Amino acid sequence: MDIKLSGIVIIVGNYGSGKTETAVNLAFNRRAVGIDVAMADLDLVNPYFRTREARQVLFEKGIRLVLPEEKYMDADLPILAPQVAGLIKNPAELTILDAGGDDVGSIVLAALADSLAGRQINLIQVVNPLRPFTETVEGCMRIREEIEYSSKLKITGLVSNANLMDETTPDIIYKGYDLIQEVSERTGIGVEFITAHGDLLPDLDLTRFKTPVLPILRWLVPPWKRQGS
Amino acid sequence: MAKVLMKGNEAIGEAAIRAGCKNYFAYPITPQSEVAEYLAKRMPEVDGVFVQGESEVAVGYMIFGAAGCGERVMTTSSSPGISLMSEALSYIAGARCPAVFVNIMRGGPGLGGILPSQGDYFQATKGGGHGDYRLLVMAPEGVQEAVEMTMKAFNLAEKYRGPVMILGDGLIGQMMEPVEFPENFDTTPTNKDDWATSGMDTRKSDKKNIVKSLFLDPKALNDHNLLLKSNYERMKQEEILYEGYNTDADYKVLIVSYGTMSRVCKTAIDTMKAQGLEIGMIRPQTLFPFPEKAVHEAAVKASCSHVVSIELNMGQMVEDVDRCVKGQRPVTWYGECGGDIPTPEEIIDHVKSLLNN
């Protein structure tokens, strides 16, 4: 099953759910089949491990990237690059906006309301059930409500990014899938895809899933690990 | 409990709760603000208290107040914030009050930057505040160890009746790793009835407990400071922690490194080992008391020709390493002090250059 997403895709979710890793891998996945992909880093709340950390490899793979000016890259200030509004007005075939975590990180979307008005938006909530506050369906729904309130937008799709980093097992992927299915049933919001590290794919029973699986490599890594591992 | 995926800052907050800390006072500063954000949600769930002070100066004295009552209390901050708390740290040490301070270091001096640093080694291990005191300082290399050290810090603070510091760099606070929280941890404050200003109900005598650091009589101050000194000497006997990495091999160079910098060194050591070059490392887990004997013995191993202290600063721990090696091997420093972290490849190049000179 292929991922069908196109147009403007905004990635939201609770803090540390793996939004950026999901966004970067989605960008690579779509670019690999020839789609024109652009990305913007809207994370104004996270000081490290943001899209900008993967900028070199994103450039190399031909993905257009909108970031704050280089001199503000490590500033402890919420800086929204003015080019983001231009990117929304003239989107690529797939334009991914990577927002910050929780309702606080989503506030930036309300600031872009004028640019986003009247556009078809895919607002995707990423969930990792091994993170605090989203271990349960109720927790996921609470985060969804908070994000919708802050962003003034409605979530249109769900993604399970169940992982314990290097210690992820197939059971963890299955558990994440089951949880996101339940969230989907309770909310009526569809599951766009689930993620699984590329090394785990041979161990997974893919027939168990009714959704596409996005293979993940890790691009946002500490300096003692290799990007794309 | 099953493992969960947590950011270092969140895990430190959760660890404090699981260690019985119901009193948390802090002021936001990057890159540690998520501790406050996390505990703002969690403290009410455990009938605990989080108060955001109007400044770090105020927070320091909130900590002093709660600690003086014998309660388990913690603050977290980052470098400039710890500078502001240093006056209170001195008072808390002087008044012999147990408290846990967490410093998730950023670049300095002054406002510096928000990227990882180990520039507060001197501040943590040699003072910071005024007077003749020491902190027990622990330096985790990852999220799991940050959890274990934070929990243990509460017991150690009570054992020695003084402030204990967890010294992590920005990466410790910001990176995510799987963690498991120790079960059956003793969360009851110990020995507070003997000294804390916690009311008279549980006290066996009607003697008032007074918590103070003011001793106008020079002999009384001398005796008080000697009591503090005896505590610090006991720490040196009972609390030194370190890890030896590849120290069983006949290594050519000994690295001394701590915190996340040591993680980069481990990758470099593994790579060099695969190339046939043996390099050892001592990773101090306590920075005070410093593992003096371990560093000395590892440095004078017959195969070892050079010792290098690798740090995210302009060379601070290298002075302690040099003190331990006592001139028996050349000791040098290598590192970065602007926020960038040396890569494993840069470490390898540097270590090889030492062997070629």
Q: Which of A117, A67, A73 is nearest to A109 (CA)?
A: A117
Produce one character per residue of B126-155: b if its CB has 16 or more CB atoms within 10 Å, e if not.
ebbbeeebbbbbbbbbbbbbbbbbbbbbbb
What is the rounded CA–CA span in Å between residue B330 and residue B138? Answer: 27
Q: What mean pLDDT is reported for chain A?
A: 93
Instruction: Kindly state whether A130 is in contact with chain B, defined as any CB-CB distance less than 8 angstroms.
Output: yes
Q: What confidence score (pLDDT) does residue A49 get?
A: 86
Query: Which DSSP category does B20 fall into?
Result: T
Q: Pick the more confident residue, B222 or A113.
A: B222
The pLDDT value recorded for residue A78 is 75
CA distance A195 to A191: 11
B148 φ/ψ angles, rounded to the nearest 5 degrees: -65, -40
Are A108 and A40 within 8 A, CB to CB? Answer: no
pLDDT of residue B186: 86
pLDDT at residue B247 in the model: 98
> Could you say which architecture CATH assigns to the domain B4-239?
3-Layer(aba) Sandwich (3.40)
Q: Do domains B4-239 and B242-356 have the same CATH topology?
A: yes
Structure confidence at residue B201 (pLDDT): 64
pLDDT score of A211: 97
pLDDT range class, residue B198, cuts 50, 70, 90: confident
In whole angstroms, give the CA distance from residue A23 to residue A9.
9
Residues of B in contact with A132 (CB under 8 A): 4, 6, 10, 14, 38
| Strand segments (E) across A51-169 | 64-66, 94-99, 121-127, 157-160
Nearest CA in chain B to A101: B34
Q: Please report, as a single letter, which amino acid is at residue B310.
A: I
CB contact under 8 A, A223 and B343: yes
Residues B330/B322, Cβ–Cβ less than 8 Å: no
pLDDT digits (tens, 9 = 90+) for A42-69: 888 888 888 888 999 999 999 999 988 8
Three-state SS for A223? Answer: coil
Q: Inter-chain contact B34–A15, Cβ cutoff 8 Å?
A: yes
Question: Best of B169, B174, B176, B262 to disrupt the A interface by mutation (most A CBs within 10 Å)?
Answer: B176
**How far does B197 lie from chain A, in Å, by closest CA?**
36
Contact with chain B for residue A49, Cβ under 8 A: yes
What DSSP character marks residue B110? T
pLDDT at A79 over 90: no
Q: Closest Cα partner for A26 from A94, A75, A76?
A: A94
What pLDDT is attached to residue A43?
A: 87
Q: How confident is the model at residue B207 (pLDDT cuts 50, 70, 90)?
A: confident
Interface probe with A: pick from B1, B3, B5, B45, most Cβ of A within 10 Å: B5
d(CA B118, CA B150): 18
Q: Are A155 and A109 in contact (CB under 8 A)?
A: no
Q: Is the omega angle on the peptide bond into residue B80 within 30 degrees of 0, that is, cis?
A: no
Tally Cβ neighbours within 10 Å of residue A36. 14
Report which DSSP code applies to A17. Answer: S
Based on C-alpha coordinates, what's the Rg of chain B?
Answer: 21
**Alpha carbon B79 to its chain's center:** 12
Nearest-Cα distance to chain A for B224, in Å, is 43
CB nearest B341 (choices: A46, A131, A223)? A223
Structure tokens given for A117: 């008005």
Q: CA dist A85 to A55, A113, A130, A141, B132, Å?
A: 20, 10, 34, 29, 57
Contact B344 A224 (CB under 8 A): yes
Contact B117, B169 (CB under 8 A): yes
pLDDT-based confidence at residue B199 (cuts at 50, 70, 90): confident
pLDDT at B202: 62
- Check whether B192 has a pLDDT greater than 90: no
**pLDDT one-digit tens code per residue, A194-209:** 999 999 999 999 999 9
Q: Does domain A7-216 have CATH number 3.40.50.300?
A: yes
Rounded to 10°, the helix B56-68/B79-94 angle is 30
Task: Encode burial over B231-252: b for 16+ CB neighbours within 10 A, e otherwise.
Answer: bbeebbeebbbbbebbbeeebb
**β-pair partners for B76:** B102
**Is the CB of residue A119 less than 8 Å from the CB of residue A9?**
no
Q: Which helix (H) or strand (E) holds B183?
A: none
Pairing of strands B242-245, B279-284: antiparallel
CB atoms within 10 A of CB B64: 23
Q: Where are the domains of chain B?
A: 4-239, 242-356
The distance of A222 to chain B (nearest Cα, Å) reads 7
pLDDT digits (tens, 9 = 90+) for A84-114: 999 999 999 999 999 988 888 888 898 898 8
Contact between A164 and A172 (Cβ < 8 Å):
yes
Q: Tell me the pLDDT tens digit for each residue of A161-177.
A: 999 999 999 999 999 99
Query: Tell me, what amino acid is at B257?
Result: S
Fold topology of B242-356: Rossmann fold (3.40.50)
pTM above 0.90, yes or no: yes
H, E, C per residue of B203-233 = CCCCCCCCCCCCCCCHHHHHHHHHHHHHHHH
Contacts of A105 in chain B (CB under 8 A): none
In sequence order, what are the beta bridge partners of B128? none
- pLDDT-derived band at B204, boundaries 50, 70, 90: low
List pLDDT tens digits, range B47-93: 999 999 999 999 999 999 999 999 999 999 999 999 999 999 999 99
What's the rounded mean pLDDT across residues B110-137?
Answer: 96
Of B78-87, B156-165, B203-212, B332-341, the least confident = B203-212
The predicted model gives B144-165 an average pLDDT of 97
Q: Mean pLDDT in chain B? A: 96
Structural tokens at position B326:
């006592």
User: So what's the pLDDT on residue B32?
Assistant: 96
**Contacts of residue B92, Cβ cutoff 8 Å, sequence gap at least 6:** B60, B63, B64, B67, B99, B162, B163
